[in-house]
A and B are shown apart, each in its own frame.
Chain A
């Protein structure tokens, strides 16, 4: 049988004619095009615009021609003379560390315990998961009732409701961040629990059985067999935790609009852009700082998701 189609013969190259008819091509363009317009127009272009604006100064009121380029002035000012910046950054990092350590491990613990399929697993799962479906604003409300100085649950249980004796959970800048973090953790743990429950289900039971037969104690088996098998979920959990920590806005805003110990980068952005005396460039620079920090989990997640793909 002839095998040579190489040099000398003109190979007639067929287009993808058999693949898509003209009608199909139009359909594909529309199916991808319209969503693309939304996502690029309302998400990516604004992001790029923000980056650009961070190098400008603008009050937002005048037209586009009143924007003037100031280079890195905004960034310099943020890092040196803007009082709430460093506290806000610190608070965001504390938020991240807190979430990563406490509710995440607690969620893992809950997932591990509930994975044993004891009676009432369903009910327990629902209880811990409940805060996740609540709006963060509602969460803020609920915890305000818990933390209220004179009528709140905690103070009344502790008996500290007299005027001079109250613990001002939300008003005291030394305490309020931690108080709010408890509320955030309350919600975060349930989310993490669900992710780990799914992850545990996908761990091959044969692995655990083999470990048991080999004589491993439960903790040892967990440490050496189960936890390593959870690696893909761990990455997701990490990304989710970081994203949540950076996004934190709603709770804090509801409680006291992010002042007095509850400064966060997200709130600072809001402060600078909404209202009459807006400092757009400044706010954008703050947003870009947030963006740069977020790129770490985003890139991690994308690499993880697509690394496995190929």
Chain B
């Protein structure tokens, strides 16, 4: 049985800072799990702890079914791919690939054979004699992958390996990584701060904030059923629109709008204050949407035409949500971050409409709201309202 299991793993630094807070995580054999979160959330520390590069303060770590807590990195049977690839600059590609095997005492013939195999798989045969300085970014990345593959470890640990590539290369490499995983089927724990990468690569995604696991789920469920404000604000691009609203039992009221809720809505029959979340994709151009959906009238301030889709950015008569979780998700230190001009106190929302529609800045526009796809959160706890619990909301 392979896989990685973290059992109440915590890491506390001598100065008291808790980087990883009692994490339970189960990566099944052959699964590709992505750890994602804003910078400083502890994801890299967690990965390095799994690798053995950092000590765990408490908890147990299992790799391939064995308790490896306390073992040095070389005895955990893992391979790691670093953000800057960490290729030994003074060694050739061939020597870089074979270094780990050499240190383990693999006989030379075997080593040579494996190096040739891996070089062939990754298309590195022409580059074997070169030094890393003479390789392009993509080539270096492949050598870094090769170094990991060649050892046939129980698990791969990857620390933002794509973030040093330029945008287009990153996209194509993502696909390559997926294919590689299909082929090799090795348990992988992958760290990134880019939620798009997380959603596209991960079979499951673990969202981390300040060392605490927020939610571990498939990308689909994370997107459609975020458990709290942080996950809701973090996952999805453009980000989910969040507004403070009031529930009346049959409708939700905010910024002068009142939208009736469908019977099956989670917020039906509830009253009190809540935070409503509307994905930009849940706002459609009024002209093409179903008749039953309620409309809101807005005045677009910024129109971003991307061809396939158009982002319409508008303000509403309500202040932006100042919940800590939301700020943390956007990596802002306070409300004024991300604002060029001071003094604008109104929330800015984004709608994603069909690119074929014409939208003009300043021209009043009707947007249809898919009320069945609304999310609701308790402002006090930040947790998503769900059908099961019926906690009282503050009136």
Contacts and interface: CB of A to CB of B under 8 A. Distances in A.
Question: Is A in direct contact with B (CB under 8 Å) within the complex?
Answer: yes
- With a 10 A CB-CB cut-off, give which of A4, A11, A18 has the most chain B CB atoms: A18
B200 interface: no
A12 B67 CA distance: 15
B72 A18 contact: yes
A283 B342 CA distance: 71
B22 A5 contact: yes
A17 B53 CA distance: 11
- With a 10 A CB-CB cut-off, give which of A14, A15, A16 has the most chain B CB atoms: A14
B10 to A, nearest CB: 5
Contact of B212 (A1, A12, A17): A1
Interface string B309-341: 000000000000000000000000000000000
A219 B148 CA distance: 58
A18 B73 contact: yes
A14 B10 CA distance: 11
B134 to A, nearest CB: 27
A266 B95 CA distance: 55
Interface string A9-26: 001111111110100000
Contact of A17 (B54, B70, B214): B70
Interface in B259-317: none
Contact of B58 (A2, A5, A21): A5
Nearest to A16: B55
Contacts of A11: 10, 57-58
A19 B22 contact: no
Contact of B21 (A5, A18, A21): A5
A21 B57 contact: no
A17 B55 contact: yes
Interface in B44-59: 52-59
B58 A12 contact: yes
Contacts of A17: 55, 70-72
A3 interface: yes
A6 to B, nearest CB: 10
A15 B70 CA distance: 8
Contacts of A18: 52-55, 70-73
Contacts of B70: 14-15, 17-18
A5 B213 CA distance: 14
Interface string B37-80: 00000000000000011111111000000000111110000000
B24 interface: yes
B179 to A, nearest CB: 33
A8 to B, nearest CB: 13
A19 to B, nearest CB: 7
Nearest to B73: A18
A172 B212 CA distance: 81
* Range for the number of chain B residues in contact with chain A: 20 to 34
Contacts of B58: 5, 11-14
A17 B73 CA distance: 11
Contacts of B10: 5, 11
B22 A14 contact: no
Interface in A101-118: none
- With a 10 A CB-CB cut-off, give which of B8, B53, B72 has the most chain A CB atoms: B72
Given A1-B212, A3-B212, A14 B21 contact: no
Nearest to A17: B70
Contact of A14 (B23, B24, B55): B55
A14 B54 CA distance: 11
Interface in A4-61: 4-5, 11-19, 21
A12 B56 CA distance: 9
A227 B213 CA distance: 52
Contacts of B69: 14
B22 A3 contact: yes
Contacts of A5: 8, 10, 21-22, 58
Contacts of A2: 8, 22, 24
Contacts of A13: 57-58
B57 A14 contact: yes
Interface in A160-215: none
Interface in B327-385: none
Contact of B213 (A1, A15, A19): A1
Given A2-B22, A21-B72, A14 B212 contact: no
A198 B351 CA distance: 55
A2 B22 CA distance: 7
Nearest to A12: B58
A3 B21 CA distance: 6
A5 B71 CA distance: 23
A1 to B, nearest CB: 5
A3 B9 CA distance: 11
Contacts of A12: 58-59
A4 B22 CA distance: 7
Interface in B79-109: none
Interface string B1-40: 0000000101000000000011110000000000000000
Contacts of B73: 18
A221 B296 CA distance: 61
Contacts of B59: 12
A25 to B, nearest CB: 12
A143 B356 CA distance: 89
A88 to B, nearest CB: 51
Contacts of B23: 1
A21 B71 CA distance: 9
24 contacts: A1-B22, A1-B23, A1-B213, A2-B8, A3-B22, A3-B212, A5-B10, A11-B10, A11-B58, A12-B58, A13-B57, A13-B58, A14-B55, A14-B56, A14-B57, A17-B55, A17-B70, A17-B71, A18-B52, A18-B54, A18-B70, A18-B72, A19-B55, A19-B72
Per CB-CB distance, the 10 closest pairs between chain A and chain B, nearest first, are: A11-B58, A1-B213, A17-B70, A18-B52, A14-B55, A5-B22, A12-B58, A5-B10, A18-B55, A18-B72
Given A14-B56, A21-B72, 16 more contacts: A1-B23, A1-B214, A2-B8, A3-B212, A4-B22, A5-B58, A11-B10, A12-B58, A14-B55, A14-B58, A14-B69, A15-B70, A17-B55, A18-B52, A18-B55, A19-B72
Interface of A: 1-5, 11-19, 21
